[in-house]
């Protein structure tokens, strides 16, 4: 006979009915990740900055004939859209944080926003590559004197945007309360705000393409190397593509619950192996429900005299486990 243990936030009153920590019966309190209002506000600010600069660069690139400047402007347009997606994801995650339809909270809405932004970034890289190759074989005249100041202005806006987003991190979730975490967790990788990271990568990609555009324009003006303009567009394509693929990998891993190679999985196995009575771990599922926060389901056999509370107490040493369900095979 299998017995299912209640989640760790569930207590029992004297009648045996479920109670939440607030004392309400049958409450659905699964908010595992706190919102990041600073990041949300910064993302909105950067979105408006990007929109303004996008219009300036596209207009200037079209009028002045610079492919590098035009590519940077269109690149910015996709970033403005992606930043809007990120800002929207923050809003939706916050608005629906206490919606009982979301069994494990709304944090993955933010991750989905990051994934969507990464898809936009791939599209931008493809567009830049196609247009740059086309311009390499079909060069067009460039008005360098007007294009260079616009590119410098764009770089300034990107640097300001990157600074705004770099100050949007909420460091409150980066702390660990027990020493043995030093052995295995991969730095802050599990604690990154992936939605904020996607917005930051868009801005950094913009800054990189702005630098490449300036190099191309200066080289074209003073060295007569007009071929630098499309070549730098191709270099920007490769750079942006690499960043996009990395972000797709990290956000996709979370969305698909590909966490069974995370250090916390081995830590759970070690705790179970050390339990009195040597119960057998028949099945284990671990997935992420927040920045550096995990839920798990543990299925045990040969644990005749053991209670779920004992298992949860043993696993409590790993504070990143915020939701533990224990199953017994009797």
Stretch 117-135: mean pLDDT, rounded?
85
| pLDDT tens digits, 58-68 | 887 778 776 66
Stretch 210-226: mean pLDDT, rounded?
86
pLDDT at site 295: 92
pLDDT above 80 (res 149): yes
Residue pair 110/90 in contact (Cβ under 8 Å)? The answer is yes
Interatomic CA distance for residues 139 and 231, integer angstroms: 11
pLDDT band with cut points at 50, 70 and 90 for residue 272? very high
pLDDT at site 172: 42
Q: 258 or 100, which is more confident?
A: 258
Interatomic CA distance for residues 226 and 280, integer angstroms: 69
Looking at the chain, the domain(s) classified CATH 3.30.70.1350 span: 259-330
3-class secondary structure, 167: coil
pLDDT at site 164: 84
- Picking from 110, 51, 54, the residue whose alpha carbon sits closest to that of residue 85 is 110
Backbone angles phi, psi at 157, to 5 degrees: -65, -40
Query: What is the dihedral angle through the alpha carbons of 269, 270, 271, 274, rounded to the nearest 10 degrees?
Result: 120
pLDDT at site 12: 33
Sign of CA dihedral 87, 90, 93, 97: negative
Interatomic CA distance for residues 185 and 180, integer angstroms: 10
Q: CB burial class (10 A; 0-12, 13-18, 19+) of residue 29?
A: middle
Residue pair 20/27 in contact (Cβ under 8 Å)? The answer is yes
3-class secondary structure, 328: strand
Where does 37-255 sit in CATH, by number? 1.20.1510.10
pLDDT above 50 (res 257): yes
Interatomic CA distance for residues 321 and 330, integer angstroms: 25
pLDDT band with cut points at 50, 70 and 90 for residue 31? low
Stated as kind and residue range, the H or E segment containing 301 is: strand 293-301
Q: DSSP characters for 239-259?
A: HHHHHHHHHHHHHHHHHTT--
Helices within 138-256 (DSSP H only): 144-166, 194-223, 228-255
Q: 117 or 191, which is more confident?
A: 117
pLDDT above 70 (res 3): no
pLDDT at site 145: 80
3-class secondary structure, 184: coil
pLDDT at site 6: 43
Architecture per CATH, 259-330: 2-Layer Sandwich (3.30)
pLDDT band with cut points at 50, 70 and 90 for residue 71? low
Stated as kind and residue range, the H or E segment containing 285 is: strand 280-290
Range of 37-51, 136-150, 196-210, 311-325 with top mean pLDDT: 311-325
Stretch 163-176: mean pLDDT, rounded?
58
- Average pLDDT value for the chain: 77
Looking at the chain, the domain(s) classified CATH 1.20.1510.10 span: 37-255
pLDDT band with cut points at 50, 70 and 90 for residue 313? very high
Q: 56 or 183, which is more confident?
A: 56
Residue pair 298/284 in contact (Cβ under 8 Å)? The answer is yes
pLDDT above 80 (res 74): no
Tokens 């926003």 -> residue: 113
Residue pair 228/220 in contact (Cβ under 8 Å)? The answer is yes
Q: Which of 79-88, 252-261, 265-274 has the lowest mean pLDDT?
A: 79-88
Interatomic CA distance for residues 258 and 245, integer angstroms: 17
pLDDT at site 169: 52
| Sequence-separated (6 or more) residues with CB below 8 Å from residue 229 | 66, 67, 68, 135, 142, 213, 216, 217, 220
pLDDT above 80 (res 161): yes
Q: Is 279 left (phi over 0), alpha (psi -120 to 50) or beta?
A: beta
pLDDT at site 285: 94
């Amino acid at each position: 006979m299998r017995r299912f243990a209640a989640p760790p936030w569930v207590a029992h009153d004297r009648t045996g009915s479920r109670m939440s920590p607030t004392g309400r019966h049958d409450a659905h309190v699964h908010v595992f990740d706190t919102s990041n209002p600073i990041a949300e506000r910064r993302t909105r600010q950067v979105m408006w900055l990007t929109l303004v600069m996008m219009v300036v660069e596209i207009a200037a690139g079209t009028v002045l004939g610079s492919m590098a400047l035009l590519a940077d402007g269109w690149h910015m347009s996709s970033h403005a859209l992606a930043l809007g997606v990120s800002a929207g994801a923050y809003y939706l995650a916050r608005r629906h944080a206490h919606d009982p339809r979301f069994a494990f909270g709304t944090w993955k809405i933010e991750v989905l926003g990051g994934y969507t932004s990464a898809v936009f970034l791939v599209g931008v890289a493809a567009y830049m590559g196609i247009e740059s190759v086309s311009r390499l074989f079909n060069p067009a005249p460039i008005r360098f004197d007007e294009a260079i100041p616009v590119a410098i202005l764009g770089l300034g806006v990107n640097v300001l945007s990157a600074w705004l987003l770099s100050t949007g991190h909420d460091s409150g979730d980066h702390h660990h309360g027990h020493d043995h975490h030093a052995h295995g967790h991969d730095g802050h990788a599990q604690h990154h705000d992936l939605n904020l990271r996607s917005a930051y990568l868009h801005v950094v990609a913009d800054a990189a393409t702005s630098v490449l555009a300036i190099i191309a324009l200066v080289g074209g003006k003073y060295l007569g190397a007009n071929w630098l303009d499309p070549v730098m567009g191709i270099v920007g394509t490769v750079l942006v593509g690499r960043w996009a693929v990395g972000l797709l990998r990290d956000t996709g891993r979370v969305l698909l619950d590909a966490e069974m190679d995370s250090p916390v999985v081995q830590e759970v196995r070690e705790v179970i192996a050390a339990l009195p009575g040597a119960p057998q771990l028949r099945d284990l599922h671990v997935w992420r429900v927040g920045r550096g926060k995990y839920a798990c389901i543990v299925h045990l056999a040969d644990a005749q005299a053991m209670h779920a509370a004992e298992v949860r107490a043993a696993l409590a040493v790993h504070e990143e486990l915020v939701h533990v369900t224990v199953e017994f095979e009797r």
